[in-house]
Chain A
Amino acid sequence: MAIHIIDRRLNPGGKSLENRQRFLRRAKSLVQGAVKKTSQERDIKDVLEGGEVTIPLDGMHEPRFRREGGTRDMVLPGNKKFIEGDYLQRSGQGSAKDSGPGEGDSEDAFRFVLSRDEFVDLFLDDLELPDLAKRKMADTESEGFQRAGYTMTGSPANISISRTVQLALARRIALRRPRKDEMEELEAEIAECSDEAKRAELISKLEKLRSKAKRIPYIDPLDIRYRRFETVPRPVAQAVMFCLMDVSGSMSEHMKDLAKRFYMLLYVFLKRRYKHVEIVFIRHTDRAEEVDEQTFFYGPASGGTLVSSALQAMHEIVRERFNPADWNIYAAQASDGDNSYSDGELTGMLLTDKILPVCQFFAYLEVGESGGSAFDLSDSSLWTLYERLRSSGASLSMRKVSERSEIFPVFHDLFQRRETTQEKAAP
């Protein structure tokens, strides 16, 4: 009997991929909720990693007619002490016994692992960020070379041999340059030829061919082609994101949490568009320092508030480490809006002269206490200052946020508005 042994290991995997996508599509709203919930508990950098999510099974349920309750009879193994007619108490031991052949689906929550891409798709899908700031990105492209056909002139290093020989061949055929074997054949014929008249004729023919071969060169300078290169703009594939935050005593945990969420979104967004994204955390009171993420969000600090110190620090870091020609620079500043009055002018100057020219995008997020009471009051000093800068032409984006739920819309809105204003300006 023939036995076939087949190695299927090399078959393309992911046979279930389509089923999985169907499942995710169906469970979209549920999974999305789970994704948001999961992402709230994560650090900024980890937000992109896929991972396990738990969704309620409701809605993904596959119902069947199932019987339950009633009088039950069961045969069990392992009798130790019972004899016919005994009664067992229902609690404890008794109830543990009804775990018949288990229904796998009967658990009410459903855990499974999302891949990184699936996670981010679902995370951003809800944000509706269609190609935002693409136009902006185009501004900071560096030049790259790309092959673009052939040219008659160029450096010897760039000679395209194949193209040159190809052209030479075409020219030789077109001008009927005698081939080498053609002449050799003739020579052989002459050597063998005994008839004088015929021989003279052949010799003259050969001479003609020889002179023709001399006049028509094997390779003519006309044939030579050089590979041509064109410079094309190539988007810079790396970005740096500056997180500036006021950590003076007036910033509450709630405010920091709002800021963190905003940074997180920006990070995810950038990560989707750039290969390499770095994050620089600068926190400031009346002086600024670069810190790691943990210290940034949770480290204790106290003191006054000088926004200019943070801008100054950012400027220095940019100058030292992130050449604007090589990096896309994004900055997001979060603050409760307090700034010492005397600092206003310096802040404004730093921002307009040093920071904004090198930045792709600068967002200012004014965070307030939950309940929004802060907004009933007049605008904060920083807000007033930035508002003034903006009206005089600085490309600043600014928003106020006081509730967690506002973060997504505000983030969306920030980019959305930018696009529409540009469109308005275009026609």
Chain B
Amino acid sequence: MTERLFEGADWDFHTLQRITDACEEVALKDLGLDVYPNQIEVITAEQMLDAYSSVGMPLFYKHWSFGKHFAFHEASYRKGLMGLAYEIVINSSPCISYLMEENTATMQTLVIAHAAFGHNHFFKNNYLFKQWTDADGILDYLDFAKNYVATCEERYGRVEVERTLDAAHALMSHGIDRYPGKKKLDLRAEEKRAGRRRQHEEEVFNDLWRTVPKGAAKSRSALSIERRRKLLGLPQENLLYFLEKSAPRLAPWQRELLRIVRHIAQYFYPQSQTKVMNEGTATYVHYRIMTKLHQQGRITDGNFLEFLGSHTNVVFQPEFDDPRFSGFNPYALGFAVMQDIERIVTKAEDEDREWFPDIAGKGDVMGVLRDVWANYRDESFIGQFLSPKLMRHFRMFHLHDDPEERAGIRVDAIHDERGFRRVRRELARQHDVGFIDANIEVVDVDLSGDRRLILHHHVIKSSQLNETDAKRVLQHLADLWTYDVALIEVDANDKVLREYIVSPRPIPAAA
């Protein structure tokens, strides 16, 4: 029988230390987790609001949109419309977790187990995070970004910088490489490289070059369409990358800003693809750790009940006709699937053996789970591990809403023998970012002609772009490109559904 970690609701920093040590013991020994070093920071509600407005990061460049989010969150928080998160955790090394000072001792234990061990393990081991993010470098890079933006504002004016950032933010969701490139992003090197490049430019600057007569322009036919496309790396779905490399009239600092926004978007890309898994992992881990601590007698029954109360709230899944329903709760779904995996591995039934021959009855729960956490993302995770039993538990069904269909919305599949696979495939698809985001790519640009940039939106399931927003984003795009931009929405048969053409706004008083 071990000593209690704490009594009642109060905690101090020694308590936090004891709690963290106890959690760590369970996490490393019993669950075999592999985590970054932890850094736990206690913050106030106001600081939490601050963190909300800069996407949770401890430092970020200044931009009005963050102020807007802050004002919005603050207003709803003050009115009591919104509670604050218990914690925020940052994918960095050391892994920083923010804890709210208002949490009770039980909540702090829950939060430490959840963030400092659950999320932390996931960040360190999941292949997407390994591939796309650089936990060691992110804080330095953000610091660089912040200073770089500030320096640009000093040199080129706040309005100019804001204009560029606004445009870059609008294109942020299309500034991501979806397929692994040649090398992993090394943000520290990135930062040094940017510095060196600027220095080089300044060193070799010679105004005389401007006066050297240029040779005759190459004839239009010299560059075949094929070659041109290849030179520009087309088609290119990373719009920010394309602009950074190929936009004809951007200043070097503007390209660097686009690069910064692109890198940050890329950093968050894995998080959007693993919401269910990430939260599921953290919830599963905190549940295991808390249960263990309770078994060891380090947490009183009362505190354990308090924990169960919060835990149940977190994994609550309202049904579709409930007013509280707003899609699947990633905590609920992730946690349920992981618990189900535990069940399959330990107490497999015939059905499970048929559906999951690889893991059914294997016995080593943590081994299987660690492998799942490392090698899957939401789409593949749901697509492979959602069991019929769980579909029955959630009573899932699949609706197909075709606007052409007069009779209404068709129930396409339900949780029965005929429907399991279809329901599961469809739910997996709902969690596929590649499927959710509009598929837009640069297909061509007439560099020797009017330099019009041509983009295609490949329309899936006849779901087109929201017109107002599309026009605004394209306006931003045209401003960066500084020539006309055309966006053509085509369906699977290359039939043109809609065409947008936007001209850049004149730049008032060019710098």
Contact = CB atoms under 8 A, between A and B. Distances in A.
Interface in A65-123: 65-80, 82-90, 93-94, 96-97, 99-102, 104, 110-113
Contacts of A3: 17, 20-21, 24, 37-40
Main secondary structure of the interface of B (DSSP, over half): mixed
A174 interface: no
Given A63-B170, A66-B466, A74 B472 contact: no
Given A60-B68, A67-B465, A71-B400, 7 more contacts: A9-B42, A9-B44, A19-B64, A72-B463, A74-B430, A75-B396, A113-B75
Interface of A: 1-9, 11, 13-16, 18-27, 52, 60-80, 82-90, 93-94, 96-97, 99-102, 104, 110-113
21 contacts: A4-B37, A6-B41, A7-B42, A8-B42, A16-B53, A16-B67, A16-B70, A19-B64, A20-B67, A22-B62, A23-B68, A25-B64, A27-B68, A52-B75, A62-B170, A65-B437, A66-B470, A72-B400, A74-B399, A86-B411, A104-B72
B75 A112 contact: yes
Contacts of A2: 37
Contact of A68 (B67, B101, B319, B466): B466
Interface in B427-475: 427, 429-430, 437-438, 440, 457, 459-466, 468-470, 472-473
Nearest to A26: B64
Max count, chain A CB within 10 A of own CB: residue among B67, B318, B440: B67
B29 interface: no
A63 B65 CA distance: 11
Contacts of B403: 69-71
A21 B399 CA distance: 46
A113 B72 CA distance: 8
Max count, chain B CB within 10 A of own CB: residue among A16, A70, A93, A96: A16
Contact of A84 (B46, B101, B419, B470): B419
Max count, chain A CB within 10 A of own CB: residue among B72, B94, B468: B72
Contacts of B63: 19, 22
B94 A22 contact: no
Interface in B398-436: 398-403, 407-416, 418-419, 423, 426-427, 429-430
B34 to A, nearest CB: 11
Interface stretch (B136-144, B322-330, B352-360): B322-330
A63 B54 contact: no
A113 B74 contact: yes
B269 to A, nearest CB: 15
A275 B49 CA distance: 32
A88 B415 contact: no
Nearest to B173: A64
Given A8-B41, A8-B42, A97-B320, A66 B469 contact: yes
B47 interface: yes
Contacts of B427: 75
A94 B462 contact: no
B50 interface: yes
A113 B396 contact: no
A202 B167 CA distance: 94
A376 B212 CA distance: 74
B401 A73 contact: yes
Interface string B14-45: 00110011001000000000010111111110
A78 B41 CA distance: 40
A16 B462 CA distance: 41
Contacts of B476: 63
Max count, chain A CB within 10 A of own CB: residue among B46, B47, B325, B401: B401
B400 A73 contact: yes
A93 to B, nearest CB: 7
B399 A73 contact: yes
A83 to B, nearest CB: 6
Contacts of A8: 41-43, 47, 98
Nearest to A88: B409
Nearest to B440: A65
Interface string B371-408: 00000000000000000000000111111111100011
A2 B94 CA distance: 10
A5 B17 contact: yes
A86 B469 CA distance: 35
Contacts of B317: 77
A233 to B, nearest CB: 41
Given A9-B42, A82-B414, A93-B321, A23 B64 contact: yes
Contacts of B49: 16
Given A4-B38, A64-B173, A111-B75, A76 B320 contact: yes
Contacts of B66: 16, 19, 23
B169 interface: yes
Given A74-B399, A77-B395, A113-B75, A9 B101 contact: yes
Nearest to B477: A65
Nearest to A72: B401
B50 A77 contact: no
Interface in B312-364: 317-322, 325-328
Interface in B460-511: 460-466, 468-470, 472-473, 476
A55 to B, nearest CB: 10
Interface string B149-168: 00000000000001000100
A63 B463 contact: no
Task: Give the top 5 A-B pairs by smallest Cβ distance, nearest first.
Answer: A78-B319, A70-B463, A23-B67, A19-B67, A63-B472
A83 B411 contact: yes
A77 B68 contact: no
B457 to A, nearest CB: 8
Contacts of A73: 398-401, 412, 426, 429-430, 461
A4 B170 CA distance: 37
Contacts of B21: 3
Contacts of B397: 75-76, 79, 82
A41 to B, nearest CB: 18
A60 B416 CA distance: 48
Contacts of A111: 72, 75
B214 interface: no
A320 to B, nearest CB: 43
Nearest to B13: A5
Given A65-B470, A84-B418, A101 B327 contact: yes
Contacts of B437: 65
Contact of A19 (B17, B37, B53, B457): B53
Max count, chain A CB within 10 A of own CB: residue among B64, B415, B472: B64
A2 B68 CA distance: 38
A7 B47 CA distance: 12
B71 interface: yes
A67 B70 contact: no
Contacts of B230: none
B70 A9 contact: no
A87 B414 contact: no
Contacts of B182: none
Interface in B42-88: 42-44, 46-47, 49-50, 53-54, 62-68, 70-72, 74-75, 78
Nearest to B430: A75
A64 B453 CA distance: 19
A112 B42 contact: no
Contacts of B50: 13-16
Contacts of B401: 71-74, 90, 94
Nearest to B36: A1
B426 to A, nearest CB: 5
Contact of B399 (A22, A61, A76, A101): A76
B396 to A, nearest CB: 6
Contacts of B121: none
Max count, chain B CB within 10 A of own CB: residue among A5, A21, A68, A100: A5
B174 interface: yes
Contacts of B402: 71
Contacts of B319: 76-78
A13 B101 CA distance: 14
Nearest to B77: A113
